[in-house]
Amino acid sequence: MTKDQKAVLAGLRALYPDAGPELHFSNPYETLVATILAAQCTDARVNQVTPAVFRDFPDPRAMAKTTPETLYPYVKSCGFKSKAANIVNACRMIVDEYGGEVPCTLEELTRLPGVGRKTANVVLAFSFGVPAIPVDTHVFRVANRLGLADALTVEETERQLMELIPRKDWSQAHHWMIFHGRRVCHSQKPSCEGCALKPHCKAAHMDEMINPKAEAKKRAQARKARAAEG
């Protein structure tokens, strides 16, 4: 770990000591449903709809008995009709294949409709206490700008972060980066001038890295150059 990476992690820890999930859930089923709904939607919006969803469909068995058409009006404001179908179908699979209990391994979770690696990692980390680093758009952007990763894909970013960050801090570090991405290191206009991490940030002095597309291009070029050097 470089000096800057060490300083960045210490800085994130100091900035966001209470960072935690902003979605509301209280068991693995609720975590799963809320996280499926949160894809390309704000946590605040999801938190508005989930109380009624959890009231009327309190567990996987209740959800499995309904239809996507019945669920859709509850979750319409979270976008994408497919989310309602994924939730109902995931719960049917949970009932049919896992005895009504949300499974607790990455392999099993990612078999469920609508559940990718990021959603599965959120469920593992926050419902089963399994250390994980779910890489969403904020974590991907912030980790690469700060120099905690140097990757073109979320999978590679996840792998590099898991190598760099002590396992005991994985879940918390994921929250630090989400908080920083939402509050300071915005996608289009990061607030670099007011950012406490600027002295150690790899992107801070590279204007082209602040533009997400240019960031990816820049990293691809750097990679190509390194490969050419052998």
Catalytic residue status for 83: no
Name the active-site residue from 76, 136, 169, 189.
136
DSSP classification of residue 193 = G
Residue among 76 and 183 whose Cβ is closer to ligand SF4: 183
The whole-angstrom separation of Cα 43 and Cα 22 is 6
Name the active-site residue from 118, 169, 189, 198.
118
Residue among 16 and 57 whose Cβ is closer to ligand SF4: 16
Q: Looking up tokens 């994924």, which residue turns up?
A: 86
Shortest CB 22 distance to ligand SF4, Å: 19
Shortest CB 201 distance to ligand SF4, Å: 3
H or E element at residue 139? helix 137-146
Catalytic residue status for 202: no
List contacts with ligand SF4 (CB under 6 A): 145-146, 184-185, 190-192, 195, 197-198, 201, 203-204
The whole-angstrom separation of Cα 180 and Cα 137 is 12
Report the residue count for the chain: 230
Residue among 94 and 203 whose Cβ is closer to ligand SF4: 203
Shortest CB 205 distance to ligand SF4, Å: 9
Contacts (Cβ under 8 Å, ≥6 apart) of 127: 25, 27, 28, 31, 32, 102, 104
Shortest CB 186 distance to ligand SF4, Å: 8
Calculate the dihedral angle through the C-alpha atoms of 19, 47, 110, 144, rounding to the nearest 10 degrees.
-40
Residue among 73 and 199 whose Cβ is closer to ligand SF4: 199
Q: What residues are annotated to the active site?
A: 118, 136
